[in-house]
């Protein structure tokens, strides 16, 4: 089927997208669910291409694999684990892993999280100096990006203390965060699924030392979020201050449970419940909707078309929403750590390219930075625009209208471009003549025909954010299944971790560097010289 699709691309790839647009296309090449509207009419996919793409869903058994994931089957084969972030957003029902229903424990932990966040908000749980004013979440990757992204996204719903996120092992990060805080009114959350991650443990020890300088019992102002009771106890955080979760929650899928604690403290349990409800609404849509109208499936097929069939190596995430400024970073981990693999689930080389490079920035800022390349560079970058019908700042409605205008203008310009005749007449009206006119005109040509999709959502509420994140999670799953990838392991990050552990004593001067390659030895000596 990939070959057939590639042949299809060879015959249709160069045709103009704008010549395809008519009312029927606008209706057919869009999907709507629970307030979200996804438009993919500005791509080169036509009905024939779409039906071939939909065949991929059948041929690769996406539907039964989806059902296997939701039902708790151990689909993460290399780690022999179930994949059940979807169970973290459930409030009823049963899901069995190894013969045990996991939902009662999920609900129990959620209640503990809600009670704890209520107590932090009211001051019942407090620091040595009284009610907590600040929360520092120390974690990295999935233990940081999700809560940090969502905290920023849901700022209008914040009612608890201020949250700060420390991830980098660069001492500058923790230094700059802690130096503005009062240890006596600061709660520290150490978030690490494995509780072995060097960055997080190093930052947690530094935070403990900082706290111990002014607080008599610093340990009482620490909580841990982890799936390892033993490791958190070894670190000195008692079980009563641990919010645990199981190994069937992948790090980059963990925002919905204990890893979301800072978010619950910030926005409160009602809003967090709405966030979970939004994700559940997307789960139900993904589980129950026919494939041609199924939003995550369609997004995945558009992604496969662009990355594996057309061969466009990157994908830009362009939310026209300042509060989604950490979404591209969050999706980089979600998509690239999940599907950035050249070996398939059965241990064989992939027959296609792996998932694409994901990057992006909010609009309109990106327009004044990298859109030049998107419009006129030699790389084709499929752009994924996102825009809300409504902003939160009612008094600044004109800002939102300008934001919307910019978003629509970009996708329109990418598709339609500007031809040489128009460019010549512009150069002419600017007074250029002869060869200079031609030179000036050529540089004002936009070839257009560059694909994009647009997601329109009502307003960035907790419910809506939950829908959007779950939509991307399921899209990653579908793309992974079609490519034959296990989207839930991450062996590619191990080697660097191992080598860093070996290199640390070399840089400290306690081990020799002589067994390293000459380039590394040279860099060690440059970094170590006085």
Residue placing its CB nearer to ligand F6P in the complex, 143 or 273: 143
Nearest approach, Cβ of 144 to ligand F6P (angstroms)?
Answer: 8
Over 333-352, what HEC string results? HHHHHHHCCCECCCCCECCC
Q: Residues 6 or more apart from 170 whose CB is under 8 A from it? A: none
Q: List 127's β-bridge partners, or say none.
A: 130
CA distances from 484 to 80, 225, 479 (A): 17, 32, 8
Q: Which is nearer to ligand F6P, 29 or 488 (CB)?
A: 488
Residue 52 contacts residue 3 (beta carbons within 8 Å): no
Of 421, 497, 502, 515, the active-site residue reads: 497
- The minimum distance between CB 235 and ligand F6P, in angstroms, equals 12
CB of 141 vs ligand F6P, minimal distance in Å = 3
User: CB 244 → ligand F6P: shortest distance, Å?
Assistant: 13
Residue 409 phi/psi, 5° resolution?
-65, -35
Cα separation, 225 vs 232, in Å, equals 9
**Shortest Å, Cβ 163 to ligand F6P:** 17
Contacts of 499 by beta carbon, 8 Å cutoff, 6+ apart: none
- Minimum distance from CB of 364 to ligand F6P (Å)? 31
Contact residues: ligand F6P, CB under 6 A: 140-143, 192-194, 197, 200, 251-252, 337, 490, 493
Instruction: Residue count of the chain, please give it.
Output: 530
How many Å apart are CA 286 and CA 263, to the nearest integer? 25
The helix, strand and coil proportions of the chain, stated in percent and rounded to the nearest 5, come to 55, 15, 30
Contact 318, 387 (CB under 8 A): no
- Note if 337 is an active site residue: yes
CA–CA separation, 95 and 249 (whole Å): 13
Q: How far is the CB of 259 from ligand F6P (least distance, A)?
A: 8
Toward ligand F6P, which CB reaches closer, 221 or 490?
A: 490
Of 142 and 340, the one with the shorter C-beta distance to ligand F6P is: 142
How far apart CA 75 and CA 477 sit, in angstroms, is: 11
Q: Which is nearer to ligand F6P, 259 or 414 (CB)?
A: 259
* Residue 482: partners with Cβ closer than 8 Å, 6 or more residues away: 56, 57, 60, 62, 300, 304
Pairs from 112-119 (Cβ < 8 Å, separation ≥ 24): 112/243, 113/243, 113/258, 113/260, 113/261, 113/264, 114/264, 114/269, 114/272, 116/223, 116/243, 116/261, 116/265, 117/160, 117/261, 117/264, 117/265, 117/268, 117/269, 117/272, 118/268, 118/269
Q: Is 368 a catalytic residue?
A: yes
Considering the complex, state which of residue 110 and residue 252 has its C-beta at the smaller distance from ligand F6P: 252
The continuous run of DSSP H or E covering 314 comes out as strand 314-320
| Residues linked to residue 383 through DSSP beta bridges, in sequence order | 316, 452
Using the minimum distance from each CB to ligand F6P, give the nearer residue, 17 or 470: 470
Structure tokens at 269: 């349990």
Please tell me the distance from the alpha carbon of residue 53 to that of residue 42, in angstroms, as a whole number: 17
Least Å distance, CB 254 to ligand F6P, is: 8
Alpha carbons 205 and 305: distance in angstroms, whole number: 47
Pick the catalytic residue from 124, 209, 368, 397: 368
Q: Considering the complex, state which of residue 41 and residue 197 has its C-beta at the smaller distance from ligand F6P.
A: 197
Kindly name the residue from 337, 361, 384, 479 that is annotated as catalytic. 337
Residue 375 falls in the annotated catalytic set:
no
Could you count the other beta carbons within 10 Å of the beta carbon of residue 296? 27
For ligand F6P, which is the closer residue by CB, 91 or 194? Answer: 194
Q: How far is the CB of 239 from ligand F6P (least distance, A)?
A: 18
Which are the catalytic amino acids? 337, 368, 497
């Amino acid at each position: 089927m990939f070959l057939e699709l590639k042949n299809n691309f060879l015959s249709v790839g160069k045709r103009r997208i704008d010549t395809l647009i008519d009312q029927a296309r606008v209706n057919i090449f869009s999907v709507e669910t629970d307030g979200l509207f996804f438009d993919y009419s500005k791509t080169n996919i036509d009905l024939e291409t779409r039906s071939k793409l939909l065949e991929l869903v059948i041929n690769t058994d996406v539907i039964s694999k989806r059902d296997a994931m939701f039902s708790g089957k151990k689909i993460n084969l290399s780690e022999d684990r179930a994949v059940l972030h979807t169970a973290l957003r459930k409030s009823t029902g049963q899901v069995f892993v190894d013969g045990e229903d996991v939902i009662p424990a999920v609900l129990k932990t959620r209640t503990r999280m809600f009670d704890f966040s209520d107590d932090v908000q009211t001051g019942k749980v407090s620091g040595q100096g009284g009610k907590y004013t600040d929360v520092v979440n120390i974690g990295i990757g999935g233990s940081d990006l999700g809560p940090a992204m969502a905290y920023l996204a849901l700022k209008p719903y914040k009612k608890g203390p201020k949250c700060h996120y420390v991830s980098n092992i660069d001492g500058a990060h923790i230094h700059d965060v802690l130096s503005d805080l009062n240890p006596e009114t600061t709660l520290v959350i150490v978030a690490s699924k494995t509780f072995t991650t060097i960055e997080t443990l190093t930052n947690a020890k530094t935070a403990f030392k900082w706290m111990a300088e002014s607080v008599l019992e610093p340990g009482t102002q620490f909580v841990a979020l982890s799936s390892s009771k033993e490791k958190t106890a070894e670190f000195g955080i008692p079980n009563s201050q641990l919010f645990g979760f199981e190994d069937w929650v992948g790090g980059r899928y963990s925002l919905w449970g204990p890893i979301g604690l800072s978010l619950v403290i910030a926005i409160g349990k009602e809003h967090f419940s709405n966030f979970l409800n939004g994700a559940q609404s997307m789960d139900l849509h993904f589980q129950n909707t026919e494939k041609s109208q199924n939003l995550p499936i369609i997004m995945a097929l558009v992604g496969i078309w662009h990355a594996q069939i057309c061969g466009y190596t990157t994908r830009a995430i362009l939310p026209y929403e300042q509060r989604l400024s950490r979404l591209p970073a969050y999706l980089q981990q979600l998509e690239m750590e999940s599907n950035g693999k050249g070996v398939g689930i059965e241990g064989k080389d992939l027959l296609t390219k792996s998932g694409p490079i994901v990057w992006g920035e909010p609009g309109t800022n990106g327009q004044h930075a990298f859109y030049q390349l998107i419009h006129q560079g030699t790389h084709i970058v499929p752009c994924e625009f996102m825009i809300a019908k409504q902003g939160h700042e009612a008094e600044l409605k004109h800002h939102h209208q300008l934001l919307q205008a910019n978003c629509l203008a970009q996708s329109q310009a990418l598709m339609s471009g500007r031809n040489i005749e128009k460019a010549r007449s512009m150069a002419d009206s600017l007074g250029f003549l002869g060869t200079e006119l031609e030179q000036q005109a050529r540089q004002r040509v936009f070839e257009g025909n560059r694909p994009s999709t647009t997601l329109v959502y009502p307003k960035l509420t907790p419910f809506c954010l939950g829908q959007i994140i779950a939509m991307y999670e399921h899209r990653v799953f579908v793309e992974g299944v079609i490519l034959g990838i296990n989207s839930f392991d991450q062996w590619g990050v191990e080697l660097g971790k191992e080598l860093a552990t070996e290199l640390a004593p070399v840089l400290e001067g306690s081990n020799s560097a002589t067994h390293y390659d000459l380039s590394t030895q040279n860099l060690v000596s440059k970094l170590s010289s006085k």
